[in-house]
Amino acid sequence: MSQELVFDARTEAAKNLAWWLYIIHAVSFVFSLGAFSFVPLIINYLRRGETAGTFVYSHHSWQIRSFWWYAVWVAVSCILMATFIGIPFGVAIWGVAWLWKAYRLIKGISDLNRNLAMPG
């Protein structure tokens, strides 16, 4: 027997907003390497509290953690690239961070579309 989730209008609106925030994070990530992701990040912080008790709350937290961890690894990468010897390591760290962030955006959108909460 299949059990279907029933959403109220509030949850559906929150899910729609989270979906758009994933898209804005992704567009910023692709076109500015994440430099303009602070805009959806602020919205994530402002709207996360409204989704408490729903699976959408975990998506806001997922996006927030994704932003900050990506920012940390890009900063480490930039520090390493400031030295001639560290350039290859900085580029490698940035590349891995980019792939990791891309994975988190894709996984987040996929799980949101399937009405699944994010881990953590």
Domain range list for the chain: 9-113
Per-residue pLDDT of the chain (120 residues; tens, 9 = 90+): 333 455 688 889 999 999 999 999 999 988 887 788 999 999 999 999 999 999 999 999 999 999 999 999 999 999 999 988 889 999 999 999 999 999 999 999 999 999 999 997
How confident is the model at residue 17, as a pLDDT? 97
What pLDDT is stored for residue 7 in this prediction?
65
From the list 72, 51, 40, the residue with the least C-alpha distance to 7 is 51
pTM over 0.85: yes
Question: Can you give the pLDDT at residue 5?
Answer: 55
* 119 DSSP 8-state letter: P
pLDDT computed for residue 1 by the predictor: 36
- Name residues whose C-beta falls within 8 Å of residue 93's C-beta, 6 or more positions apart in sequence: 73, 76, 77, 80
